[in-house]
Amino acid sequence: MHKWTRRGVIGGAAAVLATGAWWLRGRKPPVGAEITDNSLARAEALLHSQTIVDVHSHSGRSFLVGASPNNLIVRLMRDGFERQRAADMQAAQVNAGLIAIVADIAVLGLTDNGLQTVRPFEPGEAFADYQRQLTRLLHVIDDGTFSLALSVNDILTARSAASPAVVLSCEGGDFIETDVTRVEDAYNAGLRSITLLHYNENLLGDNQTGSRLHGGLTALGHEVVAEMNRLGMVVDVAHASFETCRDTISASKAPVMLSHSNLNTNSNSSPRFLSREHAHLVSDADGIIGAWPAGIGSKTLADFAAQVIALANEVGANHIAIGTDMDGNYKPVLTDYTDFVLLAALLLQQGMSESDIGKCLGGNFLRVFSDVEAVAAVAGHSPSKTQPEIQ
């Protein structure tokens, strides 16, 4: 493992102070607008009537349980509170969430320029760390904290049972290394989505904030996308460069998901946000974009509602979801699942219809997941109905 020097530790501490250490404060951001009783009642009824899905989260920070972090900020972060998050979801009528393994957490650090890779992987480290995180998530499922959703029907069943479900995913395909058979292994272990890239420059393509090593999706990346299509896994192009996103959409037989971002505008801009052209790559191919309450360009929940509407106005409400990045955000303006009803109320007050809000809060993801399953069925593959065993 990489060892921090004294200078590195001091630098890490400075970075923590510079960012404000939001996740250590338990900060609850302001709503930012007066919510009327009528809007709140309509929002509560809406959540009760719809299937609600968070398309990207790290709820409870499973990814840190049993980790050996090599920087100060990660050492200070709370982990292992999945049961609290499950209770939040149940109380808030959020039926399912995609909880992501963080494929490159072992090599990430918080620097003056934000979250970045601070060293290369050691041989076999990426796969071993993926297995560590997967084992934790399977234990959380086995102990009844969450049910495991392997299909659209499982999500609908969870809603009927009023018990939150988890769809397992992995943020970054680093664990695949050069072995495409690991995609099917991941599917058999219960994963139903892979985000091809995170912050580490892996062998599948280029990420959005790094150097352009490959010029787009690589040959290995094409193989991974084809295998995910065959199996029935949602391809996630969050963090992918424009070129990698373009190539992935061209290669995929099913719609893709970009699980957490926002639209770049004159007033809201970030290297992690999307140009209009980038956003339309996804929507024009019938995919979805998860609006991201990261606190970038927003200080309140009402600001985030405006970001959701800006994205919907650009690409259409049929292509929007909510990807909270719960427990993985820098300075989130949506900090627990009880905020979902407030978000729905704010969207109503900002002019979005109940029908469109229902699509954004879960309906659009169910459509994409159904399309992914249909493509796999044509290829002769049907969703596994067997819960994986804990290793």
Position 266 confidence tier, pLDDT thresholds 50, 70, 90: confident
Give the model's pLDDT for residue 9. Answer: 36
> Which of 96, 122, 143, 174 lies closest to 2 in space, CA to CA?
122
In angstroms, rounded to a whole number, what is the distance separating the alpha carbons of residues 132 and 286? 35
pLDDT band at 383 (very low <50, low <70, confident <90, very high): confident
Residue-wise burial string across 164-186, b where 16 or more C-beta atoms lie within 10 A, e elsewhere? bbbbbbbbbbbbbbeeeebbeeb
Angle value at C-alpha 292, between 78 and 347, nearest 5 degrees: 120
Mark residue 212 as left, alpha or beta (left: phi above 0; alpha: psi -120 to 50; beta: remaining).
beta
If you average pLDDT over residues 82-105, what whole number do you get?
97
Task: For residue range 291-331, list pLDDT tens digits in order.
Answer: 999 999 999 999 999 999 999 999 999 999 999 999 999 89
Q: Which domain holds residue 243?
A: 6-25+32-378
pLDDT digits (tens, 9 = 90+) for 358-381: 999 999 999 999 999 999 999 998
| pLDDT number for residue 391 | 46
pLDDT higher at 266 or 152: 152
pLDDT at 261: 98
DSSP code string of 207-260: BTTS--SSSSS-HHHHHHHHHHHHHT-EEE-TTB-HHHHHHHHHH-SS--EEEE
Q: Please name the residues in contact with 334: beta carbons below 8 A apart, sequence gap of 6 or more.
A: 293, 301, 304, 324, 326, 340, 343
Which whole number is the average pLDDT over 229-256? 98
Distance of CA 142 to the CA centre of its chain: 22
Tokens of 378: 């044509």
**CA 315 – CA 282 distance, rounded (Å):** 9
Q: Is residue 364 part of a domain?
A: yes
Kindly tell me the sign of the dihedral angle through the C-alpha atoms of 347, 348, 352, 354: positive
The pTM score is: 0.92
For residue 283, the SS3 value is helix
- The pLDDT, as a whole number, for residue 22 is 43
On whether residue 195 sits in a domain, the answer given is yes
Q: Would residue 386 count as lying in a domain?
A: no
- The CA distance from 233 to 226, in Å, is 10
350-364 pLDDT, tens digit each: 999 999 999 999 999
pLDDT for res 97? 98
The mean pLDDT value for 28-33 works out to 94
Please tell me the predicted confidence (pLDDT) of residue 362: 98
Predicted pLDDT at 328: 94
Please write down the HEC assignment for all residues of 343-361. HHHHHHHCCCCHHHHHHHH
Task: For residue 111, name the pLDDT band (cuts at 50, 70, 90).
Answer: confident
CA–CA separation, 352 vs 278, rounded Å? 23
Domain count, the chain: 1
Residues in the chain: 391
* pLDDT greater at residue 210 or residue 346: 346
Structure tokens, 208: 């959005």
Q: For residue range 90-100, what is the model confidence (pLDDT) as tens digits?
A: 999 999 999 99
| Cα–Cα nearest to 146, from 125, 164, 159, 133 | 164
CATH at 149: 3.20.20.140
pLDDT class of 109 with cuts at 50, 70, 90: confident
* pLDDT tens string 62-81: 999 999 866 666 767 899 99
1 inside domain: no
Q: What pLDDT does 378 receive?
A: 96
Classify residue 388: in a domain, yes or no: no
What is the maximum alpha-carbon separation in the chain? Answer: 58
